[in-house]
Chains A and B, each alone.
Chain A
Amino acid sequence: MSFIQVNNVWQEYGDQVVLERLNLIVREGEFCTLVGASGCGKSTFLRLLLGHERPSKGEILLAGQPLVAEPDASRGVVFQRYSVFPHLTVLDNVAVGLELPRSPLLGRLFGNAKREARERAAELLRKVGLGHALDKYPSALSGGMQQRLAIAQALITTPRVLLLDEPFGALDPGIRKDMHALLLELWRETGLTVFMVTHDLSEGFSLGTRLLVFDKVRHDPHAPNAFGARITYDIPLNSDRRAALPAPLAERLQSQLQGA
């Protein structure tokens, strides 16, 4: 069964067509990297998956149900910037993800529940290598550390889908490599379905189990906005890692590839 199904999705802003006739089936646990030229609509597609925008035409199904048209706890997200709350300490930035869903009135927990939430948050933070900085504010962290925090924050709610919008775009190459290792480790552990927009082709190839290339197939030189981008290439990658997916999933993927 498909986990995410995109059926004939179009996205238009006024006259400008950004995405056209998008069809995609993604199985649970896949790591999709989205690449393409600037302005080709890959971030738009991510916003559609996030529920921040609604498609002009077509529909997106998540586990067979139409996608909720606003951001919710089923989809975690990490942006390139502004992903963490500047007014909360590192620990609270993550613990808030446990407090908000459980306390619809005050948005915070007290007593035992609070301590438990903070312990769980601290555990996750130690795993991403921020155990030493629990009481710091994000502004005191380096760019790489802030993105580690953002990833931990997105994972604390145990979402089913993780959306990454150029999460490592502002980091230097050494740090980026560390972040790749961390991300792959977390992906293996959690079995999340990941969508990651990136400008870095090698990053796209090395991280994903599937590379989606967004590009325009039709051009009208007199009306550059008349046609939108589609997924022009859909490349399976890293067969070793795909094989390491939970067995039935890997089989399904294999059979799908042979069919393709």
Chain B
Amino acid sequence: MRLINRHPDRGGRLLLILLPFALLLFAYFAGSTARLAENPNDKLLPGAAQMVDAVQRLAFTEDKRSGGYLFWQDTVSSLGRLGLGIGIAALLGLCLGIAAGTLPLLSAPLSPLLTVLSMVPPLAILPILFIVFGLGELSKVMLIVIGITPILARDMEQRAREIPAELLIKAQTLGANTWTLILRVVLPQLLPRLLIALRLVLGSAWLFLIAAEAIASTDGLGYRIFLVRRYLAMDVILPYVAWITLLAWLMDLGLRQLARLCFPWYEGAKA
């Protein structure tokens, strides 16, 4: 049988999914054990015990100086910034995208502008953000917003253009004005696509968040990672990275489930 026609069965599939993860973990812990055997104080590849220790210290023991639980504080402030940034960007991107994709009079000035703006590397203007918005929360949220809004807006514009002209004409023959046409035809058709676009920009959003926190912050997951880097504390960094990955994965899963739950028509309509 040709390779292209061979499919894994249920059990085989699960095995194939887990295999690369298992290999990665095995490779890491094999290396870690080898290094620790040579030098029990090695910091570069900490073993499971050291990482559990670090998590214990940060997540489940009160910090002596601040009296809080650093791990959870970092998580809450990072997620707050991320949520706020993504929320604002989604709203802005949706509005801009609909305006540029539906109304020819707004498309003319908006489309080229969005194209140019999306080419500006957001990290290059991070200093400007710090100068303009200060070192507080605002500049970090703004970096996320500025980083992903143009991408979202351009995607939404493209999706809005993909709505068949027949549907827009149809809505007009049913008595819609421009506003109600957008409200009842364009917007509901774009919302599931917005969720898909959000899943795709989630990675960038995290990147901008960590970058902003690394440079100017007093808490947050990115701040902690870059802080303990000075002590070569891989036993903290690795669990933090794993935690960020898990959070990002959960958000992705959540967005997918949300799309499935709220827009049951979408899967069928694509076919």
Contact = CB atoms under 8 A, between A and B. Distances in A.
B183 A82 contact: no
A107 B166 CA distance: 19
B177 interface: yes
B13 to A, nearest CB: 28
A83 B172 CA distance: 12
Interface stretch (A59-67, A69-77, A232-240): A69-77
B126 to A, nearest CB: 39
B271 A81 contact: no
Interface string B226-269: 00000000000000000000000000000000000001111011
A100 B174 contact: yes
B166 A79 contact: yes
A85 to B, nearest CB: 6
Given A70-B172, A88-B265, A100-B176, 8 more contacts: A73-B174, A77-B170, A82-B166, A87-B188, A87-B189, A99-B184, A105-B179, A106-B183
Interface of A: 50, 52, 70-73, 75-77, 79, 81-88, 96-97, 99-101, 103-108, 137-140, 153-154, 156-157, 159
Contacts of B266: 87
A13 B180 CA distance: 31
B117 interface: no
B94 to A, nearest CB: 16
B268 A140 contact: yes
Contacts of B169: 50, 52, 71, 77
Contacts of B268: 86, 137, 139-140
A94 to B, nearest CB: 9
Question: Interface centre among B164, B169, B268, by most A CB within 10 Å?
Answer: B169
A72 B173 contact: yes
Contact of B167 (A85, A105, A107, A157): A85
B173 A101 contact: no
Contact of B171 (A79, A86, A100, A156): A100
B109 interface: no
A104 B177 contact: yes
B271 A71 contact: no
Contacts of A103: 180
Contacts of A100: 171, 174-176, 180, 184
Given A81-B166, A106-B183, A139 B173 contact: no
Nearest to B174: A97
A52 B172 CA distance: 10
Question: Interface centre among A71, A72, A99, A101, by most B CB within 10 Å?
Answer: A71
Nearest to A74: B173
